[in-house]
Amino acid sequence: MLSKACIVGTYQRKLEAMVEAAPDLVLTVVVPPFWRDERGLTRLERAYTTGYQMEVVPIALNGSFHLHWYPGLHKVLRRVKPDLVHIDEEPYNLATYRANVLARRSHAKTLWFSWQNLQRHYPPPFSWFEHYNLRRVDHALVGSQTAARVWRAKGYVGPLSVVPQFGVDPGTFRPPDRPRSDGPVHIVYVGRLVPEKGVDLLLNALVGIDGAWSATILGSGPAERGLRETVAALGLDNRVTFRPWLPSAAMPDFYRQVDVLVLPSRSRTNWIEQFGRVLIEAMACEVAVVGADTGEIPHVISDAGLHFPEGDAETLHRHLCQLVASVALRRQLGAAGRARILQHYTQQQVATATVAVYREMLA
């Protein structure tokens, strides 16, 4: 498996679960030592590394989502001689194209993974990469039904399975040992600080909420300065706190101190929320969640949380007023969220489904 996402420690639990689900699976996972993006530099965390081999291979053009690649990958493939190469990258990226070419030269079967839920058309060379990867691959994994429809519309006709990239470990992401207190209510946003995530909408929705509450904005990004200015302009300085990213291993304890998580994303012409991983992490910890009706958010939450029309700060405000006022509602939604995770989104379920795809490909 080639996966820059697996530098995140909590994501590695899926890799252990895959080996547990298939004792005959010999798994080698290629990861970079770090990855750069608008949040900064994320270094490899070694959290769950039992039962499989982790190979650390530097990335060329690190931080370029479309053009990064692994110069040392051919050496790993030559040494490991895999039967199957799982390319955990979008099919229009150089890393996917190059890994697919190398793997197929070594007579390994291949699959790629995609979250792409917009039918976008790319200029060369990305259209060339995509064309090759749509026609020369043995299976495709996608994270949502929307993504499945996109790739079918773009001409992919081969075997395809809908399996989220990662789930959560419900033993790690679990509720606090004691029931949460009645207040003050802790409301949070977790994620990138960019316009499409709608954090400004959340800040406006917080104005005028009665009762004892505080809010935390956890993350970083280019919109942070403007959001801090908005907090000051709205007079929320004594209610809203900004915090930088936490290591993934610290997130379960963070969620256990939280009452409500809000994901207020808004659609853009070039982006729609693809999943909202913070939702399943928070739900597993029995946090009440509120999400905008855009992209995959309503499908992930279903009836285990509250929804509001995309961009509608007024409805979000009413939902937050309800949640601040009612501990019973918070606990009801928290329990429903946990139940939904156990039914659909555990790492074990994702691992088992992924291994089933491998077996189908190799049968």
pLDDT by residue for the chain (363 residues), tens digit each? 999 999 999 999 999 999 999 999 999 999 999 999 877 899 999 999 999 999 999 999 999 999 999 999 999 999 999 999 999 999 999 999 999 999 999 999 999 999 999 998 999 999 999 999 999 999 999 999 899 999 999 999 999 999 999 999 999 999 999 989 888 999 999 999 999 999 999 999 999 999 999 999 999 999 999 999 999 999 999 999 999 999 989 999 999 999 999 999 999 988 899 899 999 999 999 999 999 999 999 999 999 999 999 999 999 999 999 999 999 999 999 999 999 999 999 999 999 999 999 999 999
Nearest to 214 by CA among 235, 198, 238: 238
Torsion angles phi and psi, residue 96, rounded to 5: -70, -45
Question: Tell me: the pLDDT tens digits for 289-344?
Answer: 999 999 999 999 999 999 999 999 999 999 999 999 999 999 999 999 999 999 99
As given in the structure block, the two tokens for residue 32 are 């970079």
Contacts of 173 (CB under 8 A, 6+ apart): 10, 251, 252, 255, 281, 284, 285, 341
The label of the residue with tokens 């300085």 reads 237
pTM of the predicted model over 0.85 = yes
What gap in Å lies between CA 105 and CA 84, rounded to an integer? 12
What are the tokens at 332?
Answer: 């009801």
Q: Are 48 and 15 in contact (CB under 8 A)?
A: yes
User: What are 36's two structure tokens?
Assistant: 């750069």
Q: Residues spanned by CATH 3.40.50.2000 within the chain?
A: 5-167+346-362, 185-344
User: How many Cβ atoms sit within 10 Å of the Cβ of residue 6?
Assistant: 23
Reply yes or no on domain 5-167+346-362 having CATH 3.20.10.10: no
Where does residue 363 rank: exposed (0-12), middle (13-18), buried (19+ CB within 10 A)? exposed
- Which two three-digit tokens encode residue 258? 């939280």
Nearest to 139 by CA among 363, 348, 295: 363
Rounded Cα distance between 172 and 354, Å, is 21
Q: Which three-class secondary structure state does DSSP give residue 183? A: coil
**Cα-based distances in Å from 192 to 93, 121, 231:** 22, 25, 17
For strands 185-190 and 84-87, give the pairing.
unpaired
- 323 DSSP β-pair partners: none
pLDDT, tens digit (0-9, with 9 covering 90-100), for 172-193: 999 999 989 888 999 999 999 9
Q: Where are the beta strands (DSSP E) in the chain?
A: 28-31, 34-37, 40-43, 53-56, 84-87, 109-114, 139-142, 160-162, 185-190, 213-218, 240-243, 260-263, 288-292, 306-308
Helix (H) or strand (E) holding 20: helix 12-21
- What CATH code is assigned to 185-344? 3.40.50.2000
pLDDT of res. 324: 97
Alpha-carbon distance of 339 to 160, in angstroms, equals: 28
Reading the block at residue 289, the tokens are 């969640």
Q: Are 292 and 264 in contact (CB under 8 A)?
A: yes
Mean pLDDT over each residue of the chain, to the nearest integer = 96
What is the number of other CB atoms lying within 10 angstroms of the CB of residue 188? 25
Distance between CA 209 and CA 204 in Å, rounded?
A: 10
Specify which residues 142 forms β-bridges with: 114, 162
CA distance 283 to 337: 5
Share of the chain above pLDDT 70, in %: 100
